[in-house]
Amino acid sequence: MAKKCGHLTLHFSFFTFLYSFFFVTLRGNLCEPVQTASPYSINVGGELLWLDTPIVMGILNATPDSFYQHHEGAEAIRMRTRQMLDEGAAILDVGACSTRPGYTPPDKKEEMRRLREALSIVRKEAPEAIVSVDTFRADVARMCVGEFGVQMVNDISGGDLDKEMFKTIAELHVPYVLTESSPFNGIEVVLRNLGSKVEALHEMGVCDIILDPGFGFGKTLEQNYLLMQNLEVLHELELPLLVGVSHKSMIYKLLGTTPDEALNGTTVLHTIALQKGAHILRAHEVKEAIECIAITQKVMGIRD
């Protein structure tokens, strides 16, 4: 089937899926750069953000209980905002609801309170910045877009935790990060799940979709690495690809360390993801991610 939506066209069929899956499985060369249908672009507030060169989405956790790095108080949020932009972040991803394993998230009212505080500071410090809100709640997304002009919604549940999310995104006309967070049952299931949701979003008129395979969500350590090994299969959906592995447990549990010691592992996985065609790195350390992109792009750009 083919669904045209703005500047994107979705091609998703059983036969093209089989071709992509077996081609990637048999090729098995980790270091061979993946050729994708780039350049992609996303419409951000009426301006096109081009992804011909990978970009960094910097993380701002306005919550007291994130698994790694949190920023509370006006000055900490202001300094974090300025630091990320100065280091080259193209997007600021602001969240106020920890989604670490085993944690009970705050209620909607508290999430909104935290976001109002954080976003008011971010907008004052950087009124022209591209800001994404990290939330799985449709009402929270609507509040952030309506009150603070947030230009993107990053939903770690892929619409599963709030059935109003897809409808809300269609009404807000903002780019949407669609995450695959269901239990891992193979790369072919990830592709099928994301493909069906992309089709549903396109039918509702949502054109600017970014795929996030959901590292760390509903996946064991081994499954996370299987997903990374087969990441390029997701290019079959012909949409920009975001990778969020920064300081996650797939790094520090493998190495027997802690989240604070996971920067080196993060950079290694960023490099692999870029070789497999990632367009956006969601990262805590923006400077290091920018440098990783520059070096990887240099190597991948060299031709014999």
Q: What was the pLDDT predicted at 183?
A: 83
Q: What was the pLDDT predicted at 22?
A: 46
Q: What was the pLDDT predicted at 24?
A: 43
Helices then strands, counting H and E runs in the chain, come out as 10, 12
Q: What was the pLDDT predicted at 13?
A: 47
pLDDT, tens digit (0-9, with 9 covering 90-100), for 55-67 = 999 999 998 765 4
For the chain, residues with pLDDT lower than 50 are 1-4, 7-31, 37, 67-68
Torsion of CA 115, 119, 122, 124, to 10 degrees: -140
Q: What was the pLDDT predicted at 65?
A: 61
- Ordered by start, the domain boundaries in the chain are 54-301
- CATH class, 54-301 region: alpha beta
Q: What was the pLDDT predicted at 68?
A: 45
In angstroms, the CA 243 to CA 279 distance is 8
CA dist list (Å): 56 to 94, 208, 210, 220, 241: 14, 18, 14, 26, 12
- Tell me which residue has tokens 């897809």: 166
Q: What was the pLDDT predicted at 33?
A: 57
Contact present, 99 and 65 (Cβ < 8 Å): no
Q: Which residues are catalytic?
A: 248, 282
In angstroms, the CA 2 to CA 12 distance is 7
